[in-house]
Structure 1
Amino acid sequence: MPQIKLLQNVKKDLKQISPFAHAHVTLAILSLRQKKTEGIALCGIYHGFYALTAANYMIIYRPYGKGDTRYIVRIT
């Protein structure tokens, strides 16, 4: 599934940035595998902004300067 491959690439990047976001991407991968769903979109990496939707998870990652990172995690 190309979506899982895409997520795995994102996961590698996020692991260096944040264990929290990394854990949620891992959940998204597991959810995709279990539900066999195609419903995933990765919306632009633009000015450090990540929006990731997979199955029932939406992870938004937005850095606010050095050492100050905030997340909005929403169940869609």
Structure 2
Amino acid sequence: MSQRRSDVVLAPVMQSGDVPLLLLTITQAAQRLNVSRSLLYDLVLSGEMVSIKIKKARRIPVAELEAFIQKQLQGGKDDE
């Protein structure tokens, strides 16, 4: 019997002053997923992980990490 999983919500990453971060660096996002930076870059380049660029800085929205984990729990990459 399979159990239904609830939505994934990560604990907020806080910066100084207890303000939650909305965007993470590649290193921070990789640490949250417990994967290497290289693997996270591969996910970004393949389109499996959404990222944004602010000038030269690439960032991963925290909400995207949650969506990525949820998608993996539901069976991986959607067919397009």
Q: Would you say same fold, with TM above 0.5? A: no
Higher strand proportion (structure 1 or 2): 1
TM-score normalised over the length of structure 1? 0.30
Higher helix proportion (structure 1 or 2): 1
Q: Which has the higher contact order (CA 8 A, sep 6+)?
A: 2
